[in-house]
Amino acid sequence: MQPQTGIILVTHGSRLAAGNDALLQFAVQLRQRLGTELIEPAFMEIAQPSIPVAIHKLIQQGCRHIFGYALFLVPGTHLQNDIPALFAEVLKDHPGVTWELSPPMLTEPRLLDFVADQLK
């Protein structure tokens, strides 16, 4: 039996409520689309819920693997250093929980198609 996987949608966070609300609403829609409650929004900084809060919430729901879906376009410092450090710090107290982080969105070939179609 596979360990239960939870998903964290990670973005930077904004001082503008509308920017943060967009991620919160996206998480609701994604839960409905995928038929799971094991999807949590999280912000790198500025807004709540934070990444540690989202991780703890999924662990409390029985998740033993956390997939961080990074809503970042490029492999910058947050994606390469800061977010992995946060995951590692929180999960050091949960040795049975594994995690992984998605690559930046610009590595997804379908994004190129999407943007090209939008620009046509």
Chain CA centroid to CA 11, Å? 7
Helix axes 83-91, 51-60, angle to 10 degrees: 40
Task: Specify which residues 65 forms β-bridges with.
Answer: 5, 98
Q: Which of the residues are catalytic?
A: 12
Contact 14, 46 (CB under 8 A): yes
CA distances from 120 to 111, 114, 117 (A): 14, 10, 5
